[in-house]
Structure 1
Amino acid sequence: MNNLQWYQQYPNSEPEFLILIMESGQMQNATPPHPRLTASVDKESKTVNLEIFPADVKDSALYYCALQPTVAGNTMYTIQKPAQS
């Protein structure tokens, strides 16, 4: 089973968990949840969108997406930078 996780990281800080999206489509938010964050899954196009609305200057951070499992037999989580656009 593949689970997708989103993290937010501010400079000189640890990544902070935002949301877990399970293969079934169920979602588990951080505690407390981010008040303006929504995530959506499009299985047809195989995309997952993360939206913060309305965006604020304080939302300026790095956002990471992690897929678990990342490698067969690997039980550790891997955090990867999103592709640069």
Structure 2
Amino acid sequence: MHVYGRDVEFISDIFGPKPWTIFRWYSLFLDKGVVEEAKPPIKTARWPAEVLQGVDRYVKQHPTFYLEELQDYIRESHLVVPTAVNVF
């Protein structure tokens, strides 16, 4: 097999992937039309939509807010305890 007229071993030496990896990618491309084996997971929000809308409104009304102020707003308005995990 050749890639753009170059031998697979040459491409492997230049770019790093082993020849069998290039063959696997090529096979995936022929079978599925893409090289990715699995689709990336879809991210979902950790908070309900009304909390996200409230945070969006707060940020637009207070463009120079401090993180602590936003945390207080979330705590008071939506009864959600903001943590480092769910704020960032």
> Normalising by structure 2, what TM-score?
0.20
> Considering only CA atoms, is the larger Rg found in Structure 1 or Structure 2?
2
The structure with the greater share of residues assigned to helix is: 2
Higher RCO (Cα < 8 Å, 6 or more apart): 1
Question: Which structure has more strand as a fraction of its residues?
Answer: 1
